[in-house]
Amino acid sequence: MVLKNISNPYKFLLSLLFLISTSSFAQKLTLNEKEYFETKGLNVLVFNNQYNGFFFDEKTAGIELIHHGVRTSTGGAVRLQNTPEQWDLIPILIEKSVDKASKSIEFTLRYEDYDFDSKITVSPEGNGFQIVVSLDQPVPESLKGRAGFNLEFLPSAYFEKSYLVDGKPSYFPLYPSGNTTIQSSKSKIPQFGGHNTFDDRGLDEFIIPKPLAQGNTLVLAPEDPERYVKIESESEIMLFDGRNLAQNGWFIARSILPSNQTGEVLEWHVEPNTIENWVRKPNIGFSQVGYHPDQKKVAVIELDRNDVTLKEAFIYEVTVSGKKIKQLSVNTEEWGNYLRYNYLKVDFSSITKPGLYCIQYGDQTTNTFSIDPNTLKNVWHPTLDVFLPVQMDHMQVNEAYRTWHGEPFKDDALQAPVNIDFFDGYSMDSVTDTKYKPLERIPGLAVGGWFDAGDYDIQTGTHCRTIQSLVDSWEYFKIKRDQTYINQATRYVDIHRPDGDADILQQIEHGTLNLVAQIENIGHPVRGIIVPTLHQYHHLGDASTETDNLPYNPNLKPYESDGVSSGTLDDRWAFTNRNYSLDFSTVAAFSAASRALKDYNSELADKCLRLAKTLYTEAREIKITAKTDRYSRWGRFNEVLATFQLYISSGEKTYAKRYEELIWPALDESSERTLSMALRAIPHMGEEFKEKLKKYVVKHKTEIEELGAENPYGVPISTRGWAGNAGVIEWASTNFMAYKAYPEIIEKEDVYKGLNYLFGCHPDSNISFVSAVGTRSKKVAYGSNRADFSFIAGGIVPGVLILNPDFPENKEDWPFFWGENEYIIDIGAAYIYLANAVNELLIKE
């Protein structure tokens, strides 16, 4: 290549960088046995993962690039918006075929509402790949100028980098700064439910982002060999910033499909750079918190399959003078292949001396971790001290100089309309199952409860699980920690301010108050309480500003107020269709809470037990008389919980008898789901029960051993669309109860492995999944402050998401993957139990 007319130094520099970054373009893509394209440093997935009909666009579907070990691009498909948001229409994958002879993958997408199909073919080409969009029928009239091919690029992968469009340079904005325009919603832009970007304050419009640039050749990150991608097309390519509409938007390359054409209507030629002989750096998995001296200490090293295995790793002690002293040379043990990586194990259990240590493997040295008898003692404090208080609904929450949120949802709640399919899994059938008419106020609900997750809805099922876990922690470990001021009368919470009462009891009380309010004012527990518009639902910031906090008054005009009510229809809706399985779950929560609260709030405790008995009778009757039974499986499991909790709270033998009738068939059906229910019962059911249960524990131990052969971490790793830390916590907690009853079968290490996994001994990275716990922990998570790329101390994220067919991922630079990074209250409560269980085994025994 000869450079001529070097009059622009910036352009000259970019040209030099281009030469450098393209120097290794000789590596060609091949179609592998897992049916995606690969070469060293690049994988191209083609609908190995599909759009989700429940959450719509999770940014884990279509054509996707894994570029030098990082998934940097997703969503390659025909879409109907320049910058689709989560709830916008998604195409359905009709057909996918893999042609090994031509080394191509072809798939057909359909938009049922518009009777519109498109066929897309992806095949290796030169130093990259080609994308061809074909149509059997022209783009429908209503979608002309709207249907286009999109490929989305992760903003955090391109922050502080440049791009070129037809040779003209610019840089990717760190904060969205592109231009927008306004278009009337009457233009029928196809979107979920016709939502718009505003909150309907007299505006019936959509915000339409304008492209940052447009041309026929787009080069991303020409200065970075790891992120360089070139896209060329005879059709115009536009570059958009999706964050103008939504903080979770991506950078999007897009070409509009031509009108009145069929056959091959669009071609893209994509060349991602690959670094010659690129090999991913090893990931050394270990507990960021550290280890008790008596624990088994095993690091798991995750290796690129093209990497060379080293025979040794080294453990160094960091002394008080700051020197690193080698304490141990360890022979690495080859474990084998799991997903796309090879694994080694490094056992350094022989080190028991308290101190500060790090691990060296090759040219990598980890951050430090401790070995000490008290190293795990306080790991649950941030969850109880900070995370749960921040999640408290109907309270103002303060922390030192910071207010997390004011008192929200003073206007709870209206009866949800009938016959609707809502977002986030909410729906109503043809009746309300209450005495209230649609959009009629339900009094008395503005009390207690927690925000379910990173959003601001109340989900009753999650509340029930949270209460039961907190009660378990109180009963088993008598946690009396007091570091939070909670005043129900003034609706005020102050973090790091003791008030003389055990925080865990105050949290149990707070969750229970909302459940009681549901029963007393509605008549039964409800699916949940959630805001009525998508604009409110994706609200980020102070929860108290999500509504006007004034009860809706239909006699007033919108945004008109008489000082005590308003005509603004922004109050949350209660989704009230009855579900006997949820009734049983609430019975279990009430029964458990009645025991924990008996000496703290005796009036509430008595009420809980009384409501539990009544609700149980009603749920049994509904179950018996139900014409259709879509809740049967979960209803059976939840009835097991309900009968057990009622028995130990009331002492009535009727419930014990019913529990015996239910538990054994439930164990035979799914011991994975029900073993913990049985283990909790051992102290209350006698030796015969314990002996009969033993065979299920033996089976469970076999399953534990199978996990050790299935993956190098020896824990249940979920492959669903929501990562599996909740399952790991439940599994390890079950192992704790099993060990306490059957120490001859279950080992302590079967408990410890779960906590070690959470703290960093897991695939993809070695970060602690508990924010603010461990040397390196989650600092970018899907909490209420996710728009600030921040975290809530003590929150536990879902963890490692396994994208089909073999890619483990947990992004620390992009909080908006809820399946990887969203805090949920019941995981937090379950983690408090597990952390205390591990400490009991380490300290008391």
- Write the pLDDT tens digit of every residue in 565-589: 999 999 999 999 999 999 999 999 9
204 contact partners, CB below 8 Å, separation of at least 6: 184, 185, 186, 196
> Mind giving me the DSSP string for 220-233?
E-TT-TTT-EEEEE
pLDDT (average), residues 317-327: 96
Residue 676's identity, in one-letter code, is S
Residue 844's identity, in one-letter code, is K
Cβ atoms 696, 767 nearer than 8 A: no
**pLDDT value of position 633:** 75
pLDDT in tens, 426-469: 999 999 999 999 999 999 999 999 999 999 999 999 999 999 99
Q: What share of the chain is helix, strand, coil (3-state, %, to 5)?
A: 30, 25, 45
3-state secondary structure of 150: strand
**pLDDT value of position 191:** 43
Cβ atoms 121, 134 nearer than 8 A: yes
The CA distances from residue 86 to 206, 667, 801, in Å, are 15, 39, 19
| Nearest in space to 305 (alpha carbons), one of 274, 330, 278 | 278
pLDDT (average), residues 652-658: 96
3-state secondary structure of 634: helix
Cβ atoms 77, 63 nearer than 8 A: yes
Report the DSSP pairing between strands 251-256 and 162-165. Answer: unpaired
**pLDDT value of position 201:** 47
At 265, the pLDDT band (50, 70, 90 cuts) reads very high
Torsion of CA 465, 471, 477, 479, to 10 degrees: 110
Distance separating alpha carbons of residues 349 and 561, to the nearest angstrom: 67
- Tell the residue number behind the tokens 């450098």, with chain if given: 20
At 195, the pLDDT band (50, 70, 90 cuts) reads very low
Q: Which CATH architecture has domain 283-371?
A: Sandwich (2.60)
**pLDDT value of position 269:** 98
Structure tokens at 39: 């070469």
388 contact partners, CB below 8 Å, separation of at least 6: 450, 507, 794, 825, 828, 829
Cβ atoms 276, 42 nearer than 8 A: no
Cβ atoms 157, 71 nearer than 8 A: no
Q: Has residue 193 got a pLDDT over 90?
A: no
**Rounded CA Rg of the chain:** 28
DSSP code of residue 392 = B
**pLDDT value of position 20:** 42
- Tell the residue number behind the tokens 């399953």, with chain if given: 703
Q: Has residue 189 got a pLDDT over 60?
A: no
Q: Which residues pair with 284 in a beta bridge?
A: 301
Element (H, E) at 129: strand 128-135
The CA distances from residue 198 to 175, 179, 548, in Å, are 20, 17, 15
**pLDDT value of position 332:** 98
Q: Class assignment of domain 9-272?
A: mainly beta
3-state secondary structure of 212: coil
pLDDT in tens, 522-557: 999 999 999 999 889 988 989 999 999 999 999 999
At 807, the pLDDT band (50, 70, 90 cuts) reads very high
Task: Say what percent of the chain tops pLDDT 70.
Answer: 93
Distance separating alpha carbons of residues 773 and 334, to the nearest angstrom: 30
Distance separating alpha carbons of residues 21 and 41, to the nearest angstrom: 13
Element (H, E) at 305: none
- Is the Cα torsion angle 330, 332, 335, 339 positive or negative in sign? positive
| Nearest in space to 611 (alpha carbons), one of 522, 723, 505 | 522
Q: Has residue 716 got a pLDDT over 90?
A: yes
Distance separating alpha carbons of residues 577 and 420, to the nearest angstrom: 12
Lowest mean pLDDT among 47-56, 451-460, 598-607, 694-703: 47-56
The CA distances from residue 433 to 289, 415, 817, 823, in Å, are 49, 10, 35, 31
pLDDT in tens, 737-765: 999 999 999 999 999 999 999 999 999 99
pLDDT in tens, 494-503: 999 999 999 9
The CA distances from residue 98 to 32, 35, 37, 656, in Å, are 11, 7, 11, 57
| 3-class DSSP string for 776-824 | CECCCCECCCHHHCCCCCCCECCCCEEECCCEEECCCCCCCCHHHHECC
Lowest mean pLDDT among 27-31, 375-379, 509-513, 705-709: 27-31
**pLDDT value of position 671:** 86
At 627, the pLDDT band (50, 70, 90 cuts) reads low
| Nearest in space to 277 (alpha carbons), one of 344, 225, 220 | 225
* pTM for this prediction: 0.94
Contacts by 800-803 with C-beta closer than 8 Å and gap 24+?
800/717, 800/723, 800/724, 800/762, 800/763, 800/764, 801/60, 801/721, 801/722, 801/723, 802/339, 802/717, 802/718, 802/719, 802/723, 803/45, 803/48, 803/49, 803/60, 803/64, 803/71
Q: Has residue 632 got a pLDDT over 80?
A: no
pLDDT in tens, 283-297: 999 999 999 999 999
**pLDDT value of position 823:** 98
pLDDT (average), residues 765-773: 98
pLDDT (average), residues 79-89: 90
pLDDT (average), residues 396-424: 96
**pLDDT value of position 475:** 98
Q: Has residue 712 got a pLDDT over 90?
A: yes
Q: Mean pLDDT, the chain, as a whole number?
A: 93
- Using alpha carbons only, what angle is made at residue 538 by residues 534 and 542, rounded to the nearest 5 degrees? 125
Q: Report helix angle 503-522 to 580-596, nearest 10.
A: 140
DSSP code of residue 405 = E
At 281, the pLDDT band (50, 70, 90 cuts) reads very high
Distance separating alpha carbons of residues 6 and 21, to the nearest angstrom: 20
- Tell the residue number behind the tokens 């536009």, with chain if given: 238
Distance separating alpha carbons of residues 541 and 571, to the nearest angstrom: 17
DSSP code of residue 244 = G
Q: Within the chain, which residue ranges are assigned CATH 2.70.98?
A: 9-272
Q: Within the chain, which residue ranges are assigned CATH 2.60.40.10?
A: 283-371
